[in-house]
Amino acid sequence: MALAIYPGSFDPVTLGHLDIIFRSSKVFDKVIVAVSGESRSKNFWFSEIERCDFITRCIHHMKNVEVRAFEGLITDWAAAAGASVLVRGLRAVSDFEYELKMASMNRRLNPEIETVFMMTRTKYSFLSSSMVKEIASYDGQVEKFVPAKILDDIKKKQEERKNSDLS
């Protein structure tokens, strides 16, 4: 059985991520979306639980997809889960250098695990979680970029951040 892991921050999940998840679910027998934990040196808007929950709400129709939080090295985590493939999405050339570094390092760490890249759909090629947060922080409209099921959560978080002067 070909089990693939799609790791990322998903802070929050976007339509671009969901497109990669859906397309991966057609290629592999099973896909685990691995949501990185709080320990990574990133300034997340949403907790690990929230980020997992957002994705879970959107994947009901994909029966071979599951969401889990992960900590530590993704190669170790993937091997422990019995996976042999890491899926990553590629947008612009700017993604390439970082993804090449990551894939090369992950291969050094565990040569049994292959990184497979999936090209973004053109309509999502400019779309990133950080862009969504940037737009939301200026009270802009993000409904074209994220699943409708999480819109209220983004608005709520933006209000909280505004009120606590974090944004």
Residues 6+ apart with CB under 8 A from 48: 35, 36, 37, 38, 69
- Whole-angstrom distance, CA of residue 27 vs CA of residue 15: 19
From 42, 149, 156, 162, the catalytic residue: 42
Residue 164: active-site member:
no
Nearer to ligand ADP, 39 or 163 (CB): 39
Angle, helices 15-27/48-58, rounded to nearest 10 degrees: 60
Residue 91: active-site member:
yes
Nearer to ligand ADP, 105 or 162 (CB): 105
Residues of this chain that interact with ligand ADP (CB under 6 A) are 8-10, 14, 16-17, 20, 88-89, 91, 95, 120, 124, 127-129
Residue 42: active-site member:
yes
**Smallest gap, in angstroms, from Cβ of residue 22 to ligand ADP?**
11
From 88, 91, 133, 157, the catalytic residue: 91
- Whole-angstrom distance, CA of residue 50 vs CA of residue 73: 21
